[in-house]
Structure 1
């Protein structure tokens, strides 16, 4: 069984084309800006037969076109890698493109197998600076950077995703450190610069949780343009989502 939080049909922001996005339950990170705090605990969501997800994907396949498919997101989907591996094999057998949206912070033999199976990894790097990454997520970025290195070493295509959080990941030093660390990776097909947003704040209120970035404002267009220009010094393709 796979513990699913929710689904999004015809998603356009989590990989190429139109996609069925499956949000899985559970995450080891505690990102201060997490838009889905209800996905963090591993005990939440609904236990789902992988065959149900496969049927849903096959039913929606006519809408995917040549570029679309299924994206597993979260939460952190690699927490359920052992259960995902056979499902991903079945999806690929059905001719469906599969993306994995991951923070790269979990690693074990099942995760390695999963990373080698999917067509594309969307790797969320929160911060290249170890201390600032820990302040932002409560966890180390060591494994995330190792995951990026593994993808590069094995020629596995991935998109690098970076959320621009004012005061936490938007300094020129932050962006240049990311570029210096990962700018030479040939497996990075593109970089997605994701604006910080507060769309999930109401969830914290509903759950009785304190949203610790309440005073942080969303990015201005000028801040996003500046960050994108810096990233383009290191990466050939940078997209602001």
Structure 2
């Protein structure tokens, strides 16, 4: 029995997949995104420990609110860093007929074992992957997150290969991720995928800045304001938001 390191729950999530959802936020992430609004989820091996059965029983108490489209989303942190738990949890959820979604950066993805075989199996119990594509440019991605985007793009290609439904998310950060050229390159990459059902542009906000300060971390985007509506619309046009089904 695998135990999860849990950061928190949201019982009536409306932005983390289709319909109303129970959202489980797992603890631990190896990305260091400059705009992260939950840096308190970074540290590995801490948090409340819960079994898959405990969490599923708790989630199912809210099932009557999910309707036909809702279900369970596992987010983070980075859920793929707790693969043993995630696989057990989604097997149980699918046995109950629950719609399952993973919200992931895709960064832990690799074709190496034992991860790849576990990921293959996990996808059999996953209905939807919400994949965060933070920057298409490798150098800029490293500057923004401290990690390469190679495994993330590889994950996107693999999900396309197996025909897994994907929603792609892109956080629009002025001076960092809203360059028209980079957005066009990202759009061109998305266009090579045949499994994308939705693209979302998420405007940057600084709501999580206080968490950085509370944790004694230096927040490098203090001089960055949220993108204007004009820039959001521009990004949505380039990324063809609304054209995927």
Per-residue displacement from partner, 1:18-45 (whole Å, max 9, x unpaired)?
A: 0001000001111000000000011332
Q: Residue 144 of structure 1 corresponds to which residue in structure 2?
A: 152
Q: Residue 138 of structure 2 corresponds to which residue in structure 1?
A: 130
Q: Residue 24 of structure 1 corresponds to which residue in structure 2?
A: 26
Q: Residue 182 of structure 1 corresponds to which residue in structure 2?
A: 190
Q: Residue 212 of structure 1 corresponds to which residue in structure 2?
A: 220
Q: Residue 11 of structure 1 corresponds to which residue in structure 2?
A: 13
**Matches of 2:140 and 2:242, distance apart in 1:** 22
**Matches of 1:198 and 1:110, distance apart in 2:** 36
**Matches of 2:76 and 2:130, distance apart in 1:** 12
Q: Residue 236 of structure 1 corresponds to which residue in structure 2?
A: 243
**Matches of 1:15 and 1:89, distance apart in 2:** 19
**Matches of 1:87 and 1:136, distance apart in 2:** 32
Q: Residue 56 of structure 2 corresponds to which residue in structure 1?
A: 54
Q: Residue 204 of structure 2 corresponds to which residue in structure 1?
A: 196
Contact 2:11–2:59 (8 Å) recurs in 1: no
Contact 1:179–1:235 (8 Å) recurs in 2: no
Residue ranges of structure 2 left out of the alignment (5+ in a row): 110-114
Q: SS of the counterpart of 1:208?
A: coil
**Matches of 1:158 and 1:19, distance apart in 2:** 17
Q: Which moved more, 1:49-58 or 1:32-41?
A: 49-58
1:235 CA displacement? 7.2
Contact 1:101–1:123 (8 Å) recurs in 2: yes
Contact 1:5–1:39 (8 Å) recurs in 2: yes
Number of residue equivalences? 237
Contact 1:82–1:111 (8 Å) recurs in 2: no
Q: Which moved more, 1:70-79 or 1:198-207?
A: 198-207
Q: SS of the counterpart of 1:117?
A: coil
1:147 CA displacement? 0.5
The correspondence for 2:37, drawn from 35, 38, 47, is 35
Q: Residue 99 of structure 1 corresponds to which residue in structure 2?
A: 101
**Matches of 2:120 and 2:225, distance apart in 1:** 37
Q: Residue 227 of structure 1 corresponds to which residue in structure 2?
A: 235
Q: Residue 110 of structure 1 corresponds to which residue in structure 2?
A: 118
Q: SS of the counterpart of 1:219?
A: coil
Residue ranges of structure 1 left out of the alignment (5+ in a row): none
Asked if residue 120 in structure 1 is aligned to residue 128 in structure 2, the reply is yes
RMSD value over aligned CA atoms? 1.3
Q: How does 1:144-183 map to 2 (within 5 A)?
A: 144-183=152-191
Q: TM-score of the superposition, structure 1-length normalised?
A: 0.95
